[in-house]
Structure 1
Amino acid sequence: MKPIPSGRVAPGRNPFTLKVTVAALAAVGMLSGASVWAQQGPDGAPPAAQSAGASAAGEVGASAGVVTVTGIRNAARNAQAFKQNNEQVVDSIVADDIGKFPDKNVAEILGRITGVQIIREAGEAGNVVIRGLPGAVTLLNGREMFSAVSRSLFLADIPTTMLSRLDVYKSQGVDMVEGGTAGVIDVRTNRPFDFKGATASVVARAENRDKSEATDPQLSGMVSNRWKTAYGEFGALLGYSYQRGRYADEAGWVGVPLSIENGLTGPDTIGRTMTGGDRKRWAGNGVLQWRPNKDVEVFAEVINTRIEHDAETNFFLGQLPLNKGATITTVPGTNYLQSISKTGADQWTLSSTQGRRHYSRTTQAATGATWDVNDQLRLKTELARTVSKFRNQNPIVDIVGFMPNVAGRIDNGVGSITYPGADITTGSNFFLEKFFDQHSHDEGSSTDWRADATYELADKGFFRGFAGGVRIAKRHAASIHGIEGSVNHPGAYSANPVMINAIPGFTCLSRPSAGNYGISQFPIPCASYLLNNTSDLRQAFTGTTTPNPEDPLSYYADIEKTQALYGKADIAFDAWSVPVEGSIGLRAVRTEQDLRGNSLINDAIVAASVKTTGTDYLPNVALRAKLRGDLQARFNWVKATQRPAFADFNPGLVLHAAGNTTLATGTSGNPNLKPIESKNMDAALEWYFAPTGSVTGTVFSHEFKNYIRRKSTPETYDGITYDVSRPYNTSDGKLEGVEIAYKQFYDWLPGWLGGFGVEANGTYMHGGLTEPDGKVNSFAGMSKWAYNLIGLYERGDWSARVAYSWRSRFVSEYAYRATQYDLVVDPMKSLDASLTYKLSKNLSLTVDGTNLTDFQYKDYHSVPELPRDVRRYDRTVGVALRWKH
């Protein structure tokens, strides 16, 4: 047989078919690293890199030493250049390709960034903190974006397929929308002028989750083009994304420790929480751009997200036979309960289902223009309108049974419970007990206009230029929910209760546990029955099908008007022959609030309204010293504010008269709350030794005042003194720390080794809040140590990414449930990975996985011997086909 010349394919073999075969084998794990590298040509490059029609993505020509920078390398280069040239301290992630990010939503991507930590639950990442702090403002293309009555956008609602870049600013610029003491998260989407011409992409993905045992589709697409006409250049872009995700979380939990007989300490309950849902997301965006000449550009864009989410949480609560003569053992060397059992206990046991049907929709439309008046003066303006709605239907039914025998045990941070000799899975042992008819409705909207001007001086002295701008915004937020509380079934605890197996379609069996917590399954009310037959439940429990009425005392509305004016001067000078450049600026923000709610005074509901005004002055200094061409130092100092949640301003006051054994009490919001203030300092040293290679270190400090805590104080109304609970600005705090990051591709290594790269970053933080009693607590949710280690590979048609994240233990809640115990979370870690193979110039296959180590979240009540939760989440594997033209 004659040898096949380099760059050619054997007769009868279709190159596309061959690549599909290779990729399919890789997807199922049948293609080892050795077999892949065995296909390399004599110069160490994969065969596809040698063929004339092969893609150049990430190629390294070993003989010529030339690196073609696309894909992962190009993304890393662009992100590094943005960080290096920005006057603020910022970290970015840039798309590898059109909408190609290593994760499927914005919140999950953020977990890769230095100083950012996330928590995954309900099937995805949603909880995001920057340097241990939750106070970040979220922007979409530089504009304020939010979800309903929230101050920020729920980042998981934005699919990554629409993004071009994601920026996390640790220091806030004077020209940015105010509101983030922890930083700014700016989500940047694609526009047609970002591309050279006609561009289209389609991504079809299937995702499997192990605990929910579901495989779901995800589809996204984008088409963009630009045209030159007699009236200038036009561009248009349309994007669409659909995601479905059926998920399953589970937790085995242990109740709050109590004092037991003979000086023992332990819980009175052990239980289970099983959460599952079916979440569907639709997102679409459209952009028009017009450049009538080289000096003027006009745009209009709209983005819309819609989420339909049916979910359920199944609770199982097993009461332990305390003080009933049970057999008890303790953890060796302690007085903490380890095991408890009782035969003939006839023990009360509860199962419950919370059915949830969420609907949310958020739309933002914006238009704006940029005009380069001349070589020195640029004018910009934008007008945006945002509307967001959220509705929640949340019926809950509790069922109760009595078990003859019970045994509970706590080992290795896990609580388990069993019922020897009894069949816990049958509905014949449980009867209807309680019904909660809950529902809520939130709405938010805003109109936002801004105008900015920048002027560069022709004579480059100390002052290089000036910038200024104005922003006027009107935000509306309103919320109301149904009257809360439960209704007992008329037959509960009677001689003839309604057993749940007597109701057709009512009873289900919980999903089996992935972890060993004793019993694996238990009977539950079917969530589908609760959501689809709510009227029947109302009739059974209350005698009427009428929904629970809305609670006027839960209502609040806030009309917030903001007027902001800023100015800054760009400066440059030499300090001991070292060039220094930067800016000095000031932002002034006046806020007017029209607050409305309802009060309960002398058993009568009366309207409550308050108007407030306040002005904040936010100075900003950003300096950058060019120590040499590849080495620079930064110093940034900024004052930032974070406005309280809208609900905290609620002027409604609810007063409860004193009883025979109770004091007169009241609850309310606080219209006089001040914004949380933070004075933030960042000092950084950054070495950019290659276009995709850097080492950076940042020392930071945040000084806080006006942190909000709820407390009770005496207040007198009509001569009666009430103990009224309100939120107050009571706490000050400080946070200090260090961030270190390293990034590099090892292009000089021989052959296929030249495709490897590494990103590594670590954060150390310490500090906390001084509480009203003088005690200093670390910030809830803040880990002292955190790091990310990301391995990258890109060569020829192959690219891969493996990411490991770790954070040290942290306190999630102080004085948990008003007890002496804090809720402490054990160190968290996750391993995610993705592998991509280019089947052709336009088509690629990606296999990815998250939570590959099947991480278990564990927390405890102050000491590890008193556990609270062990939680397990889905391990996901996805396969995606990506087509681009």
Structure 2
Amino acid sequence: MQLKLSVAVLAGAGILSSASVRAQDAQAAADKAQADAQISSVVVTGVRRAAQSAQTIKRNSDEVIDSIVAEDAGKFPDKNVAEVLGRVTGVQVLRAGGEASTVIIRGLPGLTTLLNGREVYTSSGRSLYLSDIPTTMLQRVDVYKTQGAEMVEGGTAGVIDVRTSRPFDFKGFSASLNGRVENRDKSNKNDPQVAGMVSNRWKTDIGEFGALVGLSYQKGHYQDEVTWNSPPDNTVTSDPTITGPRDLGHSGTTGKRDRWSGNWAFQYKPSNNLEVYAEGWSTRIEHDRETQFFIGNLGWNAGTTYTLFPGTKQIDTVTSTGDLYALSSNQAPQDDSESHQGAIGAKWKVTPDLRVSTEFARTTSHWQQSFPIMEMFAHPTKIVGQTYVDGGARFDYPGTNMLDPANYTLGAFIDNWAESRGQSNDWRADVTWNNGEEHFFREFSGGVRLAQRKAAYQHESANFLAAPAGLPAVGSLPGLTCPSMPMAGSYGMSQWLVICGDYQHANLDAWRKMYGRNGQTAPDPYSLYSNKEDTTAFYGKTRFGFDAGPIPVEGTFGVRVVKTELDVNGFSQVNGLPVAVNRKTSDTDVLPNLTMKATLTDTLIARFNAGKAIQRPEFNLFNPGQSLGTTETSPGSGLYDGAGGNPDLKPVTGKNADVALEWYFAPTGSLTATVFKHKFQDYILTSLARETIDGKEYRMSRPRNVNDGTLEGVELGYRQFYDFLPGWLGGFGLEANYTYMKGHLNDQGKVTPFPGMSKNAYNINVLYERGPWSGRVAYNYRSKFVDTFNYRAILPPVGPIDLIVDPIETIDASLSYKINDHLGITLDVENLGDRTYNDYHNVPSNPRDIRRYDRVIGLSLRWKL
């Protein structure tokens, strides 16, 4: 009964096709005795119900998919979508700036994120920024490792579809209110968060109506700290085989993020065969932060003394005296962004076997940033440094008070600003015909999608202003300086003076005048781009089925054809002057997809999926503008540095195959294994290459297509609640998964691993639910990976340097108590193990930096009706 109910709910939500529902009904009858026996002694609620729903989605999907389903309306185990995804098989996340942000699937960043199956297009990106969606709005999150022909194209690594609730998801009136306060240990702040949702449905003489409104507000302070080494270099002129850093430094970031989000949905069913709906989502983010940066030059003069690590030519400690270079820089960006999406659509069951649907969506986004950087020079006379201490660098200035304004003078002013806008219109129509379960071809479907996207971006010109003569003394300007945030780790100098972030923005125009500038500068023409992309897509798909002896087999075959017309506009530099550039391209991609699923037994399923996918570059990479250096990389070399975009970029193409075996031994018990292989063409990396521009030779950094690449691996997943254990032990459950990956890119004969790919990653999630209590402890691990290849081009004997990241471990925990049917309380801890992020130059004893983040303790009170 419970399994049938889950299937019915999924069908109503649009997850399962009619053919899948009928097939599952047949299997549900065969499994009824076993399923009823397993659940008869357990009330399936909360954590178990969410796990059971997620397992049912995976079992019945045509594609290779993993899902996370809300335990109840507005109740997910984490506070934003990116945090939730860290628990999914094959998914890894990186945390910074107070929250999880970067998400990759199977070690690769080439993924598309959708909202309710729709593209969320911004001015530079093609995907929804997952941290912008609070989990209080969610019904579920689906992670597709393979793609059907009916899905929006994009995502060579996979697709993440974020699904919000609709009023018809509930039986009648429903309301929830979540209040939360969280404490962060390094920023030492207590921040409020609140979210609420109200939904209802009404039956009238003209049909059934439903309406839902949700609102959310989050405030979050955070503090990240870094201590770092510059890349190893030939610092000792008398012995060029000795290597060490030229600079050591600290960097602390404090920030405050205010995020407002809202979603709404209306549904109307004049009859059982017709539904009309409208829904939308909006978010606004104000994000203010300061990065307090300190550079301490090691001097490297005739009086410098140093020691080496035993048995190496690598520098360990350094002591220098003299007029030493030291820089305090406060980088204080203030970001303001808004995104809105609205959609209207209809679903019509024309006959029992014919269904049609259509939808129109519009998305708009606007982002702007004010980003002043104000610098001061410090004037110490002695530095004592150690290049490797606990994954970072330790240095101090004996005899100099680094908090005394008298030891500083004003330095450069970097006056940055930027702005971008984007909008898209998206229309699609689909038709499905059910041909009957008795035929080989059981279902036919097809559709069309038309999308138009526009994007524009610009930033400042002439942002660097050197310190003019006659600037006032640092100590003569009231309110100018503040002590930097203190370092939580023991790395020598723990604080220094910085120009206060509040002072920078409050006195920005006066500061510009002091440096000889009136007001904000005009846009840099080389940064300006205005792009338009039109996409026309058609697809056709059939669902088929047959019996291979006693084994029923069902599958799908589909083809999506996508024509993309791109119109890129910007400026390029010719003879030192901006010249307008317009580049128009048009290409057509054919994307076939095949799925097959064999039901070997009532509980054992085998799958095979193969298909082709594309991932188009983000719009900012197409920018034809370029920045060209005016100083030779070394005297007399005739070589200059430059950077730019690439309007000739091709989309990344992926040809993917997955083979899976899935054993569903209980409604909330499964053991799954998937072997996958991806082959890529035209993978995009930012790299250096020599180019001749206006008769000069430049070492240009720009995004480029590499030849090809291959990724392969295996995923294992296990889920079970141990209801058979006696007493309170029966409340325990375990979710665990492991992913092994290996792969490489071939760039003109040079073979390298994928940047950002860990060979090993696993998650262990211990669950407990019994009576009013529930809890979880989640452990996430990913092995080391290369962040950037050829990070810095250093002269021999050091040679090219790769930036490598140490393994990352994260532990989170939560404990909930259900006070009554309407009220519950949750205590959770993020970063329980006080994780650190360590990266290094080629070898671990040559660190670049160590990064430390806040430990977050949250207390939530949740009411529902």
How high is the TM-score relative to the length of structure 2? 0.92
Residue 110 of structure 2 is matched in structure 1 by 135
* DSSP 3-state at the match of 1:428: helix
* DSSP 3-state at the match of 2:682: strand
* DSSP 3-state at the match of 2:683: strand
Residue 876 of structure 1 is matched in structure 2 by 856
Residue in structure 1 matching 2:331, options 354, 362, 370: 354
Q: Contact (CA 8 Å) 1:623, 1:636: kept in 2 or not?
A: yes
Of 585-594 and 572-581, deviating more is 572-581
Distance 1:728 1:254 in 2: 29
* DSSP 3-state at the match of 2:87: coil
Residue 455 of structure 1 is matched in structure 2 by 433
Deviation for aligned residue 1:98: 1.0
Residue in structure 2 matching 1:425, options 403, 421, 425: 403
Q: Contact (CA 8 Å) 1:252, 1:271: kept in 2 or not?
A: yes
Residue 340 of structure 2 is matched in structure 1 by 363
Residue 25 of structure 1 is matched in structure 2 by none
Deviation for aligned residue 1:671: 2.8
Residue in structure 1 matching 2:845, options 859, 865, 868: 865
Q: Does the C-alpha gap of structure 1 residues 130 and 723 become closer, same or farther in structure 2, counting only changes over 3 Å?
A: closer
Residue 296 of structure 1 is matched in structure 2 by 274
Distance 1:715 1:345 in 2: 42
* 1:582 matched to 2:555: yes
Distance 1:264 1:463 in 2: 71
Residue type matched to 2:829 in 1?
Answer: G
Deviation for aligned residue 1:730: 2.5
Distance 2:385 2:627 in 1: 42
> Can you give the 5+ residue segments of structure 1 that lack an aligned partner in the other structure?
1-60
Deviation for aligned residue 1:420: 1.2
Q: Contact (CA 8 Å) 2:540, 2:559: kept in 1 or not?
A: yes
Q: Does the C-alpha gap of structure 1 residues 212 and 663 become closer, same or farther in structure 2, counting only changes over 3 Å?
A: closer
Residue 8 of structure 1 is matched in structure 2 by none
Residue in structure 2 matching 1:537, options 476, 494, 511: 511
Residue 696 of structure 1 is matched in structure 2 by 672
1:194-205 → structure 2 map (5 Å cutoff)? 194-205=169-180
Q: Does the C-alpha gap of structure 1 residues 334 and 666 become closer, same or farther in structure 2, counting only changes over 3 Å?
A: closer
Residue 58 of structure 1 is matched in structure 2 by none
Of 163-172 and 655-664, deviating more is 655-664
Q: Contact (CA 8 Å) 1:612, 1:671: kept in 2 or not?
A: no
Residue 192 of structure 1 is matched in structure 2 by 167
Distance 1:713 1:281 in 2: 44
Residue type matched to 1:877 in 2?
Answer: I
* 1:515 matched to 2:486: no
1:820-835 → structure 2 map (5 Å cutoff)? 820-835=800-815
Residue type matched to 1:345 in 2?
Answer: G
* DSSP 3-state at the match of 1:501: helix
Distance 1:656 1:519 in 2: 35
* DSSP 3-state at the match of 1:168: strand
Residue in structure 2 matching 1:403, options 380, 400, 407: 380
Deviation for aligned residue 1:216: 0.3
Residue type matched to 2:317 in 1?
Answer: S
1:659-674 → structure 2 map (5 Å cutoff)? 662=638, 668-674=644-650
Of 705-714 and 191-200, deviating more is 705-714
Q: Does the C-alpha gap of structure 1 residues 243 and 726 become closer, same or farther in structure 2, counting only changes over 3 Å?
A: closer
Distance 1:878 1:64 in 2: 33
Residue in structure 2 matching 1:706, options 682, 690, 707: 682
* 1:546 matched to 2:519: yes
Residue 287 of structure 2 is matched in structure 1 by 309
Of 66-75 and 811-820, deviating more is 811-820
Q: Does the C-alpha gap of structure 1 residues 883 and 726 become closer, same or farther in structure 2, counting only changes over 3 Å?
A: closer
Deviation for aligned residue 1:726: 5.0
Residue 383 of structure 1 is matched in structure 2 by 360
Residue 477 of structure 2 is matched in structure 1 by 503
Q: Contact (CA 8 Å) 1:272, 1:315: kept in 2 or not?
A: yes
Residue 525 of structure 1 is matched in structure 2 by 499
- Per-residue Cα deviation, 1:508-558 (whole angstroms, up to 9, x for no partner): 00111111111111111111111221112101112x331122111110111
Deviation for aligned residue 1:331: 1.1
Q: Does the C-alpha gap of structure 1 residues 720 and 160 become closer, same or farther in structure 2, counting only changes over 3 Å?
A: closer
Residue in structure 2 matching 1:274, options 252, 257, 274: 252
Residue type matched to 2:357 in 1?
Answer: K
> Can you give the 5+ residue segments of structure 2 that lack an aligned partner in the other structure?
1-35, 795-799
Residue 679 of structure 1 is matched in structure 2 by 655
Residue type matched to 1:498 in 2?
Answer: P
Residue 824 of structure 2 is matched in structure 1 by 844
| Aligned-pair Cα RMSD in Å | 2.0
Residue 490 of structure 1 is matched in structure 2 by 468
* DSSP 3-state at the match of 2:168: helix
Of 405-414 and 797-806, deviating more is 405-414
Q: Contact (CA 8 Å) 1:489, 1:540: kept in 2 or not?
A: no
Q: Does the C-alpha gap of structure 1 residues 722 and 218 become closer, same or farther in structure 2, counting only changes over 3 Å?
A: closer
Deviation for aligned residue 1:716: 7.5
1:554-703 → structure 2 map (5 Å cutoff)? 554-652=527-625, 662=638, 668-703=644-679
* DSSP 3-state at the match of 1:193: helix
Residue 16 of structure 1 is matched in structure 2 by none
Q: Contact (CA 8 Å) 1:657, 1:663: kept in 2 or not?
A: no
Identity of aligned residues (%): 51
Q: Contact (CA 8 Å) 1:692, 1:744: kept in 2 or not?
A: yes
- Per-residue Cα deviation, 1:718-757 (whole angstroms, up to 9, x for no partner): x998887654323310000000000000111111111100
Distance 2:626 2:419 in 1: 21
Deviation for aligned residue 1:715: 5.8
Deviation for aligned residue 1:617: 0.3
Q: Contact (CA 8 Å) 1:138, 1:146: kept in 2 or not?
A: no
Residue 57 of structure 1 is matched in structure 2 by none
Residue type matched to 2:286 in 1?
Answer: E
Deviation for aligned residue 1:663: 5.1
Residue type matched to 2:65 in 1?
Answer: V
* 1:742 matched to 2:752: no
Residue type matched to 2:338 in 1?
Answer: R
Distance 1:708 1:790 in 2: 35
* DSSP 3-state at the match of 1:531: helix
Deviation for aligned residue 1:187: 0.2
Q: Does the C-alpha gap of structure 1 residues 723 and 122 become closer, same or farther in structure 2, counting only changes over 3 Å?
A: closer
Q: Contact (CA 8 Å) 1:309, 1:357: kept in 2 or not?
A: yes
Deviation for aligned residue 1:589: 0.1
Alignment length (residue pairs): 817
Distance 2:851 2:699 in 1: 38
Residue in structure 1 matching 2:220, options 232, 239, 245: 245
Deviation for aligned residue 1:714: 4.9
Residue type matched to 1:106 in 2?
Answer: V
- Per-residue Cα deviation, 1:301-334 (whole angstroms, up to 9, x for no partner): 1110000011110001111121332221111121
1:9-48 → structure 2 map (5 Å cutoff)? none
* DSSP 3-state at the match of 1:553: coil
* 1:732 matched to 2:705: no
Deviation for aligned residue 1:696: 0.3
Deviation for aligned residue 1:605: 2.5
Deviation for aligned residue 1:170: 0.4
Q: Does the C-alpha gap of structure 1 residues 725 and 121 become closer, same or farther in structure 2, counting only changes over 3 Å?
A: closer
* DSSP 3-state at the match of 1:644: coil
Q: Contact (CA 8 Å) 2:615, 2:653: kept in 1 or not?
A: yes
Residue in structure 2 matching 1:763, options 723, 739, 743: 739
How high is the TM-score relative to the length of structure 1? 0.90
* DSSP 3-state at the match of 1:306: strand
Residue 114 of structure 1 is matched in structure 2 by 89
Q: Contact (CA 8 Å) 1:260, 1:323: kept in 2 or not?
A: no
Residue 3 of structure 1 is matched in structure 2 by none
Q: Does the C-alpha gap of structure 1 residues 280 and 540 become closer, same or farther in structure 2, counting only changes over 3 Å?
A: same
Residue 337 of structure 1 is matched in structure 2 by 315
